[in-house]
Structure 1
Amino acid sequence: MLEKPTTVAFDADDTLWQNEQFFRLTQQRFALLLKDFADPADLEARLLEAERRNLGHYGFGIKGFVLSMIETALDVTEDRVPGSVVRELIAAGQEMLRHPIHLLPDAREAVEALADSHRLLLITKGDLLDQERKLAQSGLGELFDGVEIVSDKTEATYREIFARHGEGASRAVMVGNSLRSDVLPALAAGAWGVYVPHPLTWVYEHGDTPEGHPRFREIERLGLLPDLIQSF
């Protein structure tokens, strides 16, 4: 018999609040700036390649995204990209870092509903300052018993966090929109994994659905989460 969970951990970006839509808008701006040098589809593919290549250097987040755009612009223009374009890309990144938080539907209600009955954690990747800013603006910070901003989400990451904050992975649930980062490594660590799809999830975060796994669940919106957790 599976033990009841005592800890519920949430991903942040595109689970509790919007994030990827701002990256998409900036990519559209990037394509317009480079339209005289590259086909939009080719530019998108080369940017994704640069982002993947640079994750080990810059990690996840807006700053790495901007640096990857600048690198891609240099590549497709053979180092002839106008300085004005580089300046606009930097400005676009700064706008993203200033953008106000928009909570996703049911996010606040789901977190509040579980706050009295479970230990709540926020486990997110990305730039430290930016994630701290977004959490502060979200108004949800006081509801979490712990906040972990990590460089990546792996099986070892989840094992360590759930051991330090609770009763281990076997008594924990990880909730998020990324199969690759939120669900699969959490399942591997022995936790439950609850997948809440978001229509704009970055392609890097896609993964194979672990059909048949006894600790995997999928819900269409966060409003269904409290009842799901109580059913375990």
Structure 2
Amino acid sequence: MNSTLRQQILFDLDDTLVHCNKYFDLILDQFADLLTDWFKPYGIATEEIREKQTEIDVAGVHQIGFASSHFPESLVDTYRYYARLTGRKLLSEEEDRLMKLGLSVYEQPIEPYPGMVETLNLLRNQGHELHLYTGGETGIQQRKIEQMRLADYFEDRIYIRQHKNIEALEDILQSRRFDRSRSWMIGNSLRTDVMPALSAGIKAIYIKIPNEWLYNIMELRHDGDAEMHTVTSLEEVPRVIFNHLHQAERQKRTL
């Protein structure tokens, strides 16, 4: 491939290449059922419990990033909130049960999104340079990477960060000497994938998924020259990149 056509493509992992949110939702359904039962005499609604947990969860991620202990702690903190609110006695065995429930989310099977292998194979075979950039703890994310054999595609171009923001992305872009005019960020999060990419002057493809985690949703503010595309599936990504390159080549020939 002509070097001017070869793109440097950064992929997010969770809910871009592999499923993630749906496992948290399963645990949260069990959690909300437990608390609804425990606080039944006080008339606490399931929806109210889910909203309070989300509030506590999102506030914590803003502070400490993607630490594995945070999610189960958010379940316990929600339980404590309602115990204080209602005067119900806190029980250590109930807190232990919630911690174990929260931690079990990291033991769920790893399931690729439809078209993961085909998409990565196509882009690699077209000569593009693939990178993986994910938020979380190294041990947990590395297990997913190994189970999905993603090193076959990304080799040593894998970056795991507890805080996934503009500073982390800038560090990666500078460490590998990315050509920003040929670089892309692919992901499902407006907050941690798209906004940092546009701020860093690289192109972004936003994969819009249903039932997105509240933390990932934000209002975009960026330079009007920044290039962003929105798709609804991973399988659409190669077409977007191909069309961009085709259009760029056509414009060059008309100059």
Amino acid at match of 1:122: L
* 1:210/1:216 contact within 8 Å kept: no
In structure 2, the partner of 1:136 is 146
TM-score w.r.t. the length of structure 2 is 0.82
In structure 1, the partner of 2:77 is 71
Cα deviation, 1:158-212, whole Å, max 9, x if unaligned, reads 2221222242433210000111111111011000010111113201101235796
Q: Mean Cα displacement is larger for which, 10-19 or 165-174?
A: 165-174
Name which of 48, 55, 74 aligns with 1:42. 48
* 1:9/1:120 contact within 8 Å kept: yes
**Displacement, 1:56?**
5.1
Q: Mean Cα displacement is larger for which, 44-53 or 66-75?
A: 44-53
* 2:75/2:99 contact within 8 Å kept: no
What RMSD over aligned residues (CA atoms) do the two structures have, in Å? 2.2
Structure 1 residues not aligned, in runs of 5+: none
**Displacement, 1:5?**
5.9
Query: Quick one: structure 1 residues 48 and 75, their matched pair in 2 at CA, closer, same or farther if it must change by over 3 Å?
Result: same
Query: Greater CA radius of gyration, 1 or 2?
Result: 2
**Distance in 1, Cα, partners of 2:114 & 2:46:** 32
Secondary structure of the equivalent of 1:77? helix
Query: Quick one: structure 1 residues 5 and 64, their matched pair in 2 at CA, closer, same or farther if it must change by over 3 Å?
Result: farther
* 1:154/1:186 contact within 8 Å kept: no
Q: Mean Cα displacement is larger for which, 117-126 or 4-13?
A: 4-13
Name which of 235, 240, 248 aligns with 1:228. 240
**Displacement, 1:68?**
1.1
Cα deviation, 1:46-66, whole Å, max 9, x if unaligned, reads 212221332255422542110
Q: Mean Cα displacement is larger for which, 166-175 or 188-197?
A: 166-175
**Distance in 2, Cα, partners of 1:136 & 1:59:** 23
Secondary structure of the equivalent of 1:204? helix
Cα deviation, 1:7-55, whole Å, max 9, x if unaligned, reads 1001111111110011111111111111132322222222122213322
In structure 2, the partner of 1:88 is 97
In structure 1, the partner of 2:23 is 22
TM-score w.r.t. the length of structure 1 is 0.89
Name which of 185, 191, 215 aligns with 2:202. 191
Identity of aligned residues (%): 27
**Displacement, 1:83?**
2.9
**Distance in 2, Cα, partners of 1:53 & 1:209:** 20
Mapped pair 1:119 → 2:94: no
Aligned length: 230
Structure 2 residues not aligned, in runs of 5+: 245-255
Q: Mean Cα displacement is larger for which, 208-217 or 81-90?
A: 208-217
**Distance in 2, Cα, partners of 1:111 & 1:150:** 22
* 2:19/2:112 contact within 8 Å kept: yes
Q: Mean Cα displacement is larger for which, 129-138 or 59-68?
A: 59-68
**Distance in 1, Cα, partners of 2:6 & 2:189:** 21
In structure 2, the partner of 1:52 is 58
Query: Quick one: structure 1 residues 82 and 129, their matched pair in 2 at CA, closer, same or farther if it must change by over 3 Å?
Result: same
